Amino acid sequence: MKKAIIITLALTLAGLFILTGCSENSASTDAEGSLMNMDDFFGGYSPSDEAPAFGDEEISDNFPEPEVASSEMNSFDDLTSIQGEPDVSVYSMRILWGMLEYDSTITSPTDWSGSLSIDTGCIKVINKIRFEFAQDYFTRPRPDCQALEWTSLTSVHYDGILVFLYFRNSDIDPATTEVVFETGPYSRTFILAELDSLAEIIDIDNLGNQVSIEAAKLERLECPEGFLEGRWVKRGNGRIKGQLFGRFVSRDGLFLGHVRGHWGVNADGEQLFFGKWINHYGGFRGFLRGSWGYDDSAESFESAGWYRGEYFSANATKLGTLSGNWVSHHRGSMPNSGATDKVPKHARGFFHGTWKQYCN
């Protein structure tokens, strides 16, 4: 299984070269895409390079590179051993908590200090997400490799973790083996079978706190895959159009760049989204295109939904799939960005999901 994870990382990096678009164009702000073009096949975006994070502080400040956990957080002999054993199951688990949709009006902190624990196997910490210096931190030293504890306070934003869970197959039953997430505002016990494929956004309180959970069983992967995360923003007075922006991360926790796009309804009444993916330095990596809709189980109409689509090379070759969920509750007013290509300040809304490259 250790080889499987190494292969995943290597192929993820290799996939970046596959995604590179061939363009001699100079950097562009892609203003045509920002004007909510719903009828061009790629929403008006071009395969030109951009400034890092599209030259937009709202994107760079809110979705920086995730922080890799220090080696001392994973310095356990049993963890080293289990990663090299052949008969092992490995799960990825990404949990975010707090104001996923962002709310600049929040003044009082919410305490999410808590833990993640298992009765057998080992937890490997991959990333800590949006932890603020001297305020949010892991408890050190960890008591053993079966528990992870942290201190976390959120207000206008959110915090989170990405971990890998290692289990010896001889020690588990997917129907009964438990994974326990505990915090003051929200706690939950999962059976291992639930983590084979899980993607949820849970409303926590009237303040607007939410929890995002994504988990998957890691098999030997022949193609790169990972996570998407960002804001799904309703724009102006209309509730059937808006913007999206955020970041791409590999399943191994590597930062792969930023995405910016828009969503709405085209002239034929189709609910579509479009976007553009760039790397750390602004180099073009791919177009995004797909459909979106509302979640019938949402508490209020137009407050939550889903999206699914594909991403493409510069010459419109299909490279892979992407899908996930979004929430946007329209709490308060959002400044109208007008015709600018910049993301509105204090934009509310959230989306998460996964991407997976096609195998040749």
DSSP secondary structure string for all residues of 135-195: TSEE-SS-SSTTEEEEE-EESSSEEEEEEEEEEEGGG--TTT-EEEEEESS-EEEEEGGGG
Longest dimension (CA), the chain: 60
Q: What is the pLDDT of residue 5?
A: 41
Beta bridge partners of 276: 260, 287
Q: What is the pLDDT of residue 219?
A: 80
The three-state (H, E, C) secondary structure of 275-306, written as one string: EEEECCCCCEEEEEEEEEEECCCCCCCCCEEE
Cα 79 from Cα 245, distance rounded (Å)? 36
| DSSP three-state, residue 81 | helix
Cα 209 from Cα 102, distance rounded (Å)? 9
| DSSP three-state, residue 265 | strand
How far is CA 215 from each of CA 53, 164, 224, 262, 323, rounded to the nearest angstrom? 27, 9, 16, 27, 14
Cα 269 from Cα 149, distance rounded (Å)? 48
Beta bridge partners of 356: 225, 321
Q: What is the pLDDT of residue 347?
A: 67
Q: What is the pLDDT of residue 3?
A: 40
Residue 27 tokens read as 């950097």
Low-confidence ranges of the chain (pLDDT < 50): 1-28, 31-34, 331-339
Beta bridge partners of 306: 293, 325
Q: Say if residues 273 and 289 touch (Cβ distance below 8 Å).
A: yes
As a whole number, the mean pLDDT across the chain is 86
Beta strands across the sheet bearing 187-191: 137-138, 147-151, 114-118, 178-183, 187-191
The three-point CA angle 153-332-233 to 5° equals 80
The b-or-e profile of 301-311 (16+ CB within 10 A means b, else e) is eebbbbbebbb
Residue 52 tokens read as 């890092």
Residue type, 155: S
| DSSP three-state, residue 69 | coil
CB half-sphere exposure, 64, CA atoms < 13 A:
11
pTM for the whole structure? 0.82
Q: What is the pLDDT of residue 339?
A: 39
Residues belonging to the chain: 360
User: H or E element: which one contains 8?
Assistant: helix 2-19
Cα 220 from Cα 358, distance rounded (Å)? 15
Residue 320 tokens read as 């892979």
The b-or-e profile of 147-183 (16+ CB within 10 A means b, else e) is ebbbebebeebbbbbbbbbbbeeeebeeeebebebeb
Segment 80-125, tens digit of pLDDT: 999 999 999 999 999 999 999 988 888 899 999 999 999 999 999 9
Cα 290 from Cα 308, distance rounded (Å)? 6
Q: What is the pLDDT of residue 13?
A: 40
Q: Say if residues 205 and 331 touch (Cβ distance below 8 Å).
A: no
Cα 197 from Cα 48, distance rounded (Å)? 35
